[in-house]
Amino acid sequence: MNRQTMLAGAKGRETPWDIVVIGGGATGVGVAIDAATRGFAVLLLEAEDFGKGTSSRSTKLIHGGVRYLEQGNISLVMEALKERGLLRQNAPHLVHDLAFIVPNYSWWEAPFYGIGMKVYDLLAGKYGFGRSRILSAEETIERLPNLQTEGLRGGVIYYDGQFDDTRLLIHMAATAADHGATLLNYAPVLNVTRDAEGFADGVTFADSDSGEQFTVRSRVVINATGIFADRVRRMTDPEAKRMIAPSQGIHLVFEQSFLRANAAIMVPKTSDGRVLFAIPWHGHTVVGTTDTPIQESSYEPKPFEGEIDFILDTAAQFLSRPPTRADILSVYVGIRPLVKEDGDGVGNTSTLSRDHTIHIDQAGLISIVGGKWTTYRYMAEDCVNHAITLGMLDDRECTTRSLHLHGYHQAPESLGSLAVYGSDADAILAIAAENPRSLEPMHPELPYCEAEVIWAVRSEMALTVEDVLARRTRALFLNARAAISMAPRVSQIMARETGADAGWVASQVEAFQTLAQGYLVPQGYLAS
């Protein structure tokens, strides 16, 4: 993917696009793949970087959602379990299965969760990832050596999927591009244009790099801007009522040694009735999440003091070595684009539906909001079906159920630290052939190397140091201090690639270091 080529394609088209998608998170990029593989002319515009919004800040699970089972939302669970299976089948380099253990400290938990997980297995049917079963206390400790053993009776093991959210997103963007879509980051949509009858017929967007503005025409305009969907809806309907009830969730990241296992802990009911996970991820331990209603959406939400305490307290109940504030390597916060039932108040968001919603306003602007990372493909199929009807486009079948995603590789383990790149790993190794030292880690605590930075600039449309350290690699999310110390070197490598001057290097380092403060505790939090 090359941004200059994409920009030239975006502004150079003389006939209207079939579909313009606003928003480059999981939902928008999913729609771009679906539409492009049906043969439509698609332009996707992302205001910041791909995944800058919620899609980089998930718990990293491709799952049916055990919690929704407890809420009785069987259809959502079944749909998500099916999508989980399809995603592992279509992107084995990016989605793998992971054992989850529910530790049992009361007599009733083994039969209760044991039966619940059997239902989960049954709902997965042929898309199952492995059978759940009840474990003895000894078996539980063997799999989770750092579990709090006092009062432990045993556990229930079940299987779900895990992924790296922005790595998958970049491969999705590349898949859409491979099928002819034009995707542009740093291209905010400023306005949705309308024809003489008031129907949406295009958008005006800016190229943040040059400051230039362009207006393009389209038969259908899709708003896939997640937590920002209401702002875009007001471009065609200034009176539109709020549809999004934002709710934030935080994750704390620790060293691997706190979990020291290939399995995750799933706490089905915390002191305030939520679900909490402790998960091994990229050689670290991620613990989360929370569900705190907030008033306004923003790109860099901050954790509340109470959320940090809640996660530390809950982790202390389940881990034999309780983590402290000083052990936090990074804290990241995401905002769920939950859809309000009605009215304007923001109440208890944990009970709001995780299903997606498609809304079409009087101007014909299609907004798709809600859902989950796991179900992006199904959401996209549904959305493009609506677009076909609304825009009177050719009625072409969806083909994504069996579509291999970019980088598809059946034995990614053989690629070592480049496993997540799948078949792109060869291209990164080719870059490294010019300079074998470019495969050495840039920081002793993280695996990321110079060749990955070069690849991100040349082929993954990374424009800033933040793009590289937060989303092409996951340095910022795994260890904010390490990421801060990598910033000068990363900006030098990027400048060498692009020909940027010393001023650019200095301003990038400063901007990244300021941003990264928000991922540090205690400096970076806001008291509630």
Ligand X SMILES: Cc1cc2nc3c(=O)[nH]c(=O)nc-3n(C[C@H](O)[C@H](O)[C@H](O)COP(=O)(O)OP(=O)(O)OC[C@H]3O[C@@H](n4cnc5c(N)ncnc54)[C@H](O)[C@@H]3O)c2cc1C
47 binds ligand X (CB under 6 A): yes
Region from 116-124, 174-182, 369-377, 513-521 binding ligand X, contact rule CB under 6 A: 369-377
Region from 17-25, 137-145, 390-398, 470-478 binding ligand X, contact rule CB under 6 A: 17-25
167 binds ligand X (CB under 6 A): no
Q: Which helix (H) or strand (E) holds 340?
A: none
Complex with ligand X: residue 46 or 466, whichever CB lies closer? 46
Q: In 369-523, which ranges are continuous DSSP H helix?
A: 376-391, 425-434, 450-459, 465-466, 475-478, 480-498, 502-517
Region from 56-64, 66-74, 442-450, 508-516 binding ligand X, contact rule CB under 6 A: 56-64
Closest distance to ligand X from the beta carbon of 262 (Å): 18
Complex with ligand X: residue 123 or 454, whichever CB lies closer? 123
Distance CA 81, CA 62 (A): 9
Closest distance to ligand X from the beta carbon of 177 (Å): 17
Q: Are 155 and 103 in contact (CB under 8 A)?
A: yes
Size of residue set near ligand X by CB under 6 A = 39
Torsion of CA 79, 289, 98, 471, to 10 degrees: 90
Complex with ligand X: residue 222 or 475, whichever CB lies closer? 222
355 binds ligand X (CB under 6 A): no
Distance CA 19, CA 5 (A): 19
Q: 174 to 233, contacts with ligand X by CB under 6 A?
A: 188-189, 224-228, 232
What DSSP designation does 259 have?
Answer: T
Q: 248 to 307, contacts with ligand X by CB under 6 A?
A: 249, 289
| Residue of 31, 244, 319, 335 interacting with ligand X (CB under 6 A) | 335
* Cis before 436? omega within 30: no
Complex with ligand X: residue 22 or 252, whichever CB lies closer? 22
| Residue of 10, 37, 40, 54 interacting with ligand X (CB under 6 A) | 54
519 binds ligand X (CB under 6 A): no
Closest distance to ligand X from the beta carbon of 490 (Å): 22
Region from 50-58, 122-130, 208-216, 307-315 binding ligand X, contact rule CB under 6 A: 50-58
69 binds ligand X (CB under 6 A): no
Report residue 39 as tokens.
Answer: 């043969």
| Residue of 7, 23, 38, 390 interacting with ligand X (CB under 6 A) | 23
Closest distance to ligand X from the beta carbon of 515 (Å): 15
Residue 55 main-chain phi, psi, to 5 deg: -65, -10
Q: In 263-375, which ranges are continuous DSSP H helix?
A: 305-318
| 227 contact partners, CB below 8 Å, separation of at least 6 | 53, 54, 244, 246, 297, 335, 336, 337
Q: Are 332 and 57 in contact (CB under 8 A)?
A: yes
Complex with ligand X: residue 24 or 202, whichever CB lies closer? 24
Q: List the one residue out of 77, 73, 47, 1 whose CA is nearest residue 378.
A: 77
- State how far Cα 26 lies from the chain centre: 6
User: Can you give the binding site for ligand X, defined by CB under 6 A?
Assistant: 22-28, 45-48, 52-55, 57-61, 63, 188-189, 224-228, 232, 249, 289, 334-337, 371-374
